[in-house]
Structure 1
Amino acid sequence: MKKSLLSLSLGGLTIGITEFVMMGLLPDIATNLKVSIPVAGYLISAYALGVVIGAPILVIVTRNYPPKRTLLILAALLAFFNSLSIIAPNYDFLFVSRFLSGLPHGAFFGVGAVVASRLADKGKEAQAISVMFLGLTIANVVGVPIGTYIGHHYSWRYTFIIIGIIGAITFIAIKFWMPELEAKSEETIKNQLQFFKKPDAWLVILITAIGSGGFFCWISYIAPLLTEVSGFAAADVPFILILAGLGMVVGNFIGGKLADKYSPEKTIICLLLSIALDLTLVFLFSSNPYLSLVLVFTSGFFSFALVAPVQILMIKTAVGAEMIASATIQAAFNIGNALGAFLGGLPLIAGFSYTSPNLVGITMALLGVVFTLVFLHRKQRLIRAVNV
């Protein structure tokens, strides 16, 4: 593995723990700050909102900087903003710190995805991007379970100390391992923003935001699902999350392979249908602890297999505006995060079982299929028009 890609993977590790450890810590934070679990779930939405707002803004602000300088700034922000959560005296402060922590997320992955594709060998762009996201998946195998364990047995604040340290290591790795690349700033802000006038751009955003929302309906409430429905002890949750992380690692690798071998549109359709089927099985069989463990793995697998195909689809759709488009796709993933946490929480507030968020997730995944079919139809119609 190239050291330059490894430094991006470390950034993915920082972001992965930051984003996903909150799901495992929800019961502990809710108890410590004296709020309900659904209210604590809004901390997930706060982070996602930060990603949505920060992704395009930070890419635009740093557009004339060389990629290495931009990544260093974003890594520093990741370390600093996450450290604020350590000292949060109450829920409102933690809500704000979670929002701030999300600001550099999308921009880091957006710039990093374009940098990874520029560093990749020809024909292996999607696989290079998947290397960057490898850190995100490893976070779910190692970082999130450890962070959840520490948060449950000691204090959730210690988890954020670890995140801050890894963020600092990311900064150092980028400083010494990332090569200097020229900034591609020929396009003005106005020209880059023209990208958002394309219907295809919004279709990819909808595919990502709505389709991935199905996954976040599931994982946002995975801790109470495992304890209240599957019958596991709270102390078992960190170890079970390792299964989800392993699924994400394998899925991320397979997704990158599929996106380089087949068209990203067809790959996305197959994966979203698989997510819908998987969430159906979660809804039906989570009361069986053995099947529940299998489904934890498969849910992580299918959801993260989606990441590289969607990212490469957006980059191919946004010629001339790759960085802002790539950052926007991260914002779209986190719109899915916010929607999944919020919409998935509604049936819980209404008093339904912890399996009920999966019904919302199934619907969102299938809507993602519909948007992908529309995108594919538009593309095929354009090809036919050009050939005529």
Structure 2
Amino acid sequence: MKKLIAFTITICTFIHLYSQNTYAFFGSFNRDKNTEGIYVYQLDMMSGNLSKVTTFTGILNPSFLTLSPDGKYVFACTESKTTNGGSVSSFEFNPENKSLTFINKQKSGGENPVYLAVHKNSKWLVNGNYTEGSVSVYPILENGKIQPYVQNFQYTEGSIDQGRQDRSHIHSTVFSPNFDYLFLPDLGADKIRTYRFENEKNQPLQEAETPFTKTTLGSGPRHFTFHPNGKFAYCIEEMGGAVSAYSYENGKLNNLQRINTHSEKYKDDFESSDVHISPDGKFLYASNRGSENNIAIFSIQQDGKLKTVGYQSTKGKHPRVFGLDPTGKFLIATNAGSGDVVVFKRNPETGLLKKVDKKINIKSVSCVQIKEY
């Protein structure tokens, strides 16, 4: 009987993997809106192979993408270091006819937009502007159209590195597990800023009891993620080459640990970038650019602290952003410097990664989002 049950589970899993439609969405620094900027590929959940579905031309430097919870809408921020030059755009993705259709765009409210997040109710979009150091909040209509921003907060203070931290640099906008708080790692100020998010209000960002969490001076907090259990949070620090682990409760972060993302042979000039946790909550992955070009792998302990497992080369240069598919079977790395995408199969027991199939070439590829339909 046990063998029959195990066999049935195996068959059901196989059918699920074979029949599902999983898509990977890639942004790029295309530098020219007359060339392809957004790319959509289908991910084969058996082999890990990527096959091109569609692309979009007519958008400049869509450096970061995010999707609505149902995957119907794709949002892109277009980087520009000119005053009032940046924007956030909306697209509709139809998996049946495999099309990506432009809806509209709005001004970013600051120079160099770099990160977007959508509320779980699909009614709000939040954008972080890096160069000018600001955050903008937009209502989203039911048809995916972005309305003009209703809030725009500008920050000015910097930190100890005058070359990199002369002023605020918001590098990501991340909702808490319950979507009642918003966290903003500020690379320029060495702070993780915090707001309450009251989604029923016309202006949802409200002052939090703890408005920010200080990070190590000169660390440059960049990207941020929560553990699936909602009890822990992790921030990768671009300039410090480390990940800080926190316990989390009701909008408050308490530091548990700070651990290097780099091996001992690298002493300075860190360019740590992105951070994600496997869906099973057992492993954390962090990307290093610069001279390292790898993914640091950590096991997550019961108390939320990290233990180094190893490092995996991304087989390219400048892995700016990477992503895990919803099942946790594959990790996809985007190498912006070498202009290629590499898929790795993840060992769920050890956390280690193994390259699958050939690279996909996408010039100046900057980010990836993966969604199962």
Settle same-fold status: TM greater than 0.5: no
Structure with higher RCO (Cα < 8 A, 6+ apart): 1
Could you state the TM-score of these two structures normalised by the residue count of structure 2? 0.25
Could you state the TM-score of these two structures normalised by the residue count of structure 1? 0.25
Identify, as 1 or 2, the structure richer in helix: 1
